[in-house]
Amino acid sequence: MGIDNATSVIHNIKSTQQKEVHLNFLELTAIPDALWELTEITHLFLTGNKLDNIPDDIQLLTQLQHLDISANRLTYLPDCILNLEKLNTLDISSNSLTYLPNNIHLLRNLTTLDCFDNSLTVLPENLGYCLNLSCLRMGKNELTCLPSSIGKLSHLDTIDASYNEIEKLPAGIRALSKLENLDLAGNKIGLPFSFFEKYQYDPGILFDKIREIEYKKSHTQLDLYRKQKATQSTGSHVFALDKLLKQFPIVNNQLHIKTTHISKPKTLHNTAQFLEALNNDLLIVWSITHSIQGIVDQHSHANQLMSRCYNNSNLSMDDLESECGILIHSLHSSGIMSSRKQKHDNPHSKITNCQFDQHITVSCQLSASRRALLYLTYLWSLNTFSKENHFRSQHKQTKDPLLDIITTSLEGHGLIIRNDPRIPDTLLHLSKRLRPYHIKGHS
């Protein structure tokens, strides 16, 4: 019945030489071939049928200016439509189109494109070269962005991009000086629906507000990215630091190591010098251990050193050596070193082997509390770690990035440092001291 009605309309148009053909809502599944004989028509309406394709013969309608094939079952547009050079209005709304022809810019005279209510996920970039386009309706699709070339459409006064998945607008869209109607409701831009309704006909205000939202969002994303990178960086460096710590296993409150003198000549004086330096390191961390454990009645000698190191980035090596010297002297003069009330608590060392080759290599056994020995290995590991990993603080940033790594690593070993926040700074400063010996690890 529908095809008969359509054929009747076509024959009537042919006899009267009308320029418009209306074949709407006739449930057509195909277009009568007789239509292609009407080569002089300017308007063709095929709305509300059941068409799933448009024959290539449509290009025979060379005078066509207005084509309405909305509300059909089209999944694609044939490229032959691009041959309709005089076409100024193309209505393809309410179909099932998933894409538009890439060369849509060949429709040079197109002023209105209506692709509302389809399944488009992207619009062709060449759309920006339909330079006469003044009305663009693309709402109710699945678009995540607009073509970056949209800013070239200097005659555009209406954009309907509502009910898509758009999160951000292309920068060039602000160049559309003739834009009067901008509908962005129902997207993912982050503004209330009422705001889009209120300012739909005032694009300038919309652009300013969207730009503000995008600015804040971009900075939030950047901050999140920086935090994630910092976390990842800290995590990888903590792993590297802990890998160094594994070179110094502590068993029964004892640490077996090899130390090598790093200078020449090989003399008895040099041997005594680097063994004394090794023992001093042990005494310092043993004293720190007592201080943070709250044993302040007679073992609080490290407090002054820790306070000097805490957040004091300008502490010179000479000042640090002086503080360490005072601490070592106070420990010896107080008589604490001669006290043996607690087994493994008082620090002591024992040489197990001494070898003279190119360097002086001494195998030692250090004994103290486990915490003190762990802090000692931190000094050695941090010294090596900081040489292999170059950390540069950001401009105007006084906090050393190594502090976060030290803190995370210490807490990972069950060492609660919240009781005394000076610990990471102290270990960091002490690790930078120059030592006359080199640690080779356990034998």
Pair of tokens at residue 179: 């834009």
Domains belonging to the chain, first-starting first, are 2-210 (3.80.10.10), 231-441 (no CATH)
pTM, 2 dp: 0.53
Coil, helix or strand at residue 310: coil
Q: CA-to-CA distance for 302 and 430, rounded, in angstroms?
A: 12
Q: CA-to-CA distance for 309 and 311, rounded, in angstroms?
A: 6
**8 A C-beta contact, residue 8 and residue 30:** no
Structure confidence by residue, pLDDT tens digits, 214-223: 777 766 666 6
The number of angstroms, rounded, from the C-alpha of 436 to the middle of its chain's C-alpha atoms is 44
Cα maximum dimension of the chain: 125
Structure confidence by residue, pLDDT tens digits, 126-157: 999 999 999 999 999 999 999 999 999 999 99
User: Which regions of 164-241 does DSSP assign to beta strands (E)?
Assistant: 181-183
User: pLDDT 10s per residue in the chain (443 long)?
Assistant: 688 899 999 999 999 989 999 999 999 999 999 999 999 999 999 999 999 999 999 999 999 999 999 999 999 999 999 999 999 999 999 999 999 999 999 999 999 999 999 999 999 999 999 999 999 999 999 999 999 999 999 999 999 999 999 988 998 898 999 999 999 999 988 888 888 888 899 998 988 888 887 777 766 666 676 676 666 677 788 888 888 888 888 888 888 888 887 766 666 677 777 778 888 888 888 888 877 765 544 556 788 888 888 877 778 888 888 888 888 888 888 766 666 555 556 787 877 877 776 677 778 888 888 888 888 888 888 888 887 777 665 544 566 778 888 888 888 777 766 667 788 888 888 888 878 777 776 54
- Name the residue among 75, 30, 77, 21 with its Cα closest to residue 49: 30
**8 A C-beta contact, residue 139 and residue 164:** yes
Please report how many Cα atoms fall inside a 13 Å half-sphere around the Cα of residue 81, on the Cβ side.
26
Element (H, E) at 369: none
Q: CA-to-CA distance for 435 and 379, rounded, in angstroms?
A: 11
Neighbouring CB atoms inside 10 A of 229's CB total: 10
Q: CA-to-CA distance for 35 and 61, rounded, in angstroms?
A: 9
Q: Is 186 exposed, middle or buried (0-12, 13-18, 19+ CB in 10 A)?
A: middle
Q: Is the dihedral of CA 283, 287, 293, 296 positive or negative?
A: positive
